[in-house]
Amino acid sequence: MKKNGTQKKKAVSKKKTLVAKTVTPCKANVIYLDNNGTTKLCKEAKNAMVMWLESRANPSSDSIIAKKSKELMECARKYILKHCSVNASKYTIIFTSGASESNCFILRSVVDSYKQHTGKKPHIITSATEHESIIQCCNSLRDSGRANITYIEPNAYGCISPALVKKAITSQTALISVMAANNELGCINDIRAIGEIAHDKKIPFHTDAVQLFGKYKIPLIKNRVDALSMSFHKLYGPMGLGMLIISNALIDGYNLKGQISGTQQNKLRGGTENVPAVAGAVAAIKSTFANRSEKNKKMCLQKKHIIYELEKALPQGTYKSYFSKKKPKRNEFLVLGPESNSSYKNPNVLPNTLLLCFVKNVSFSKEGYKPFCNVDLKKCLNRRNIVISVGSACATSSKKASHVLYSIKAPEIVRQGVIRVSLSDNTTKKEIDTFVKELILCLKKQMPLDDPTGSGTSK
């Protein structure tokens, strides 16, 4: 049958939709200050990955070319475990698609095994500041009746008190899972103290170490850590590769089962391993930990410089004052999270993370008063090729405010003005200077900076 004109056109357009569109990455030259979101692949990781990209060496195969990839996987595991001051007889590495998968793996496997072995409903202790992957997984375990969950509330700076963790333990606590450092506030939890409490009570301790892993070494036994999650794209490695380091005592003691069926990785995680990514991951750790303490010091100074320069334009207030009845009567900025204790051995804040908040004076609110909007600020910076992130959202945005800001009980006026600035090892002084200059210009669009009271009466 002959096709008429319209049918022919339809056939042509159908053919067109089958052609895959080539999408290329954005090459805009930006000042990227969202490194807690993801980091740029380092050249060492890229080179290591390129070497393996065309290899057909599947580590599960017994072909003559597979031998090398098996060796690579073994060397990678040994190297990473050594980096964490443990050896392969005590701990196992399970490579995953990222920390979200690692977090869900440990929670679900422990819950399943505990129920199977004791016949009782497991209890999990975690914190209200965890990453969504922990919060959502715990909520689903709770809502399906598979586990009882206790969420420990943080203090005003976002830190989890080990004493509160201890208090929450019951005879059915099957796992304690508390993050090593918070991705928004940058606060570092005392995982050693929490690990000690868990160890004394013979309860396994898991920590989501995504944000801390690339900044400081985490000796696992010293910190009494039985399981640790991390993602390699947070330390200049490839996206889509994470790991769960887990003690053999926990695997054997609980007889843990994988969540993705298959024969790979000792049946603990099915699926052919991402060999090039593993090669990149090892190179990324090596390169990230070269001159680590200098890199951390440099970022701490850059953060101080941002605050110092901002203070020239706008006074700095204190977060705690927002809980008193007397509200500040001026435009000001706040730094959320703990003030740094400047210790390299026992730091309390991530060296690269700065959670800033801009507050517009409400006490002089006239008709037409609009609170400060972090989303507008983000857009203004974006137009100037600066990338930051907003942990929560102002009232004009459809994005829901972050659970972390609710957990530290941040009032609405604070939640609406929060932006997160997260530096990288390679952030330059010039970038910081440009950022501060543009930030001040953007702030001026929302509030007068030469008149902090907003009253129009001061200087």
List contacts with ligand PLP (CB under 6 A).
98-100, 131, 133, 179, 183, 208, 210-211, 231, 242
Could you count the other beta carbons within 10 Å of the beta carbon of residue 59?
19
Residues in CB range of 307: below 8 A, 6 or more apart: 316, 335, 354
Residue placing its CB nearer to ligand PLP in the complex, 69 or 407: 407
Least distance to ligand PLP from the beta carbon of 272, Å? 19
Residue placing its CB nearer to ligand PLP in the complex, 162 or 242: 242
Please state whether 119 falls in left (phi above 0), alpha (psi between -120 and 50) or beta: left
Judge contact between 262 and 92, C-beta under 8 A.
no
For the record, the structure tokens of 265 come out as 């990785």
Distance between CA atoms of residues 390 and 408, nearest Å: 16
Residue placing its CB nearer to ligand PLP in the complex, 100 or 302: 100
Least distance to ligand PLP from the beta carbon of 234, Å? 7
Distance between CA atoms of residues 281 and 385, nearest Å: 29
Distance between CA atoms of residues 266 and 248, nearest Å: 12
Residue 196: closest CA among 167, 159, 223:
223
Residue placing its CB nearer to ligand PLP in the complex, 113 or 133: 133
Residue 292: closest CA among 245, 239, 345, 232:
345
Respond yes or no: is residue 357 known to be catalytic: no
Give buried/exposed letters for 174-190 (b at 16+ CB in 10 A, else e). Answer: bbbbbbbbbbbbbbbbb
Residue placing its CB nearer to ligand PLP in the complex, 92 or 229: 229
Name beta bridge partners: 419: 356
Which residue has its beta carbon closest to ligand PLP?
98
Least distance to ligand PLP from the beta carbon of 57, Å? 25
Residue placing its CB nearer to ligand PLP in the complex, 76 or 99: 99
Least distance to ligand PLP from the beta carbon of 288, Å? 16
Tally of CA atoms within 13 A in the half-sphere of 109 that contains its CB? 25
Beginning with the edge strand found earlier in the chain, give each strand of the sheet holding 91-96 in spatial order: 91-96, 242-247, 227-231, 205-208, 173-177, 123-127, 148-152
Residue placing its CB nearer to ligand PLP in the complex, 208 or 332: 208
Distance between CA atoms of residues 275 and 54, nearest Å: 10
For the record, the structure tokens of 375 come out as 């989303």
Distance between CA atoms of residues 321 and 138, nearest Å: 33
Q: State the DSSP string of 266-326.
A: GGTS-S---HHHHHHHHHHHHHHTTTHHHHHHHHHHHHHHHHHHHHHHS-B--GGGGGSSS
Residue placing its CB nearer to ligand PLP in the complex, 190 or 208: 208
Least distance to ligand PLP from the beta carbon of 45, Å? 15
Judge contact between 376 and 446, C-beta under 8 A.
yes
Least distance to ligand PLP from the beta carbon of 443, Å? 27
Least distance to ligand PLP from the beta carbon of 208, Å? 5
Active-site pick, 42, 104, 394, 442: 394
Least distance to ligand PLP from the beta carbon of 123, Å? 22
Active centre residues (catalytic): 394
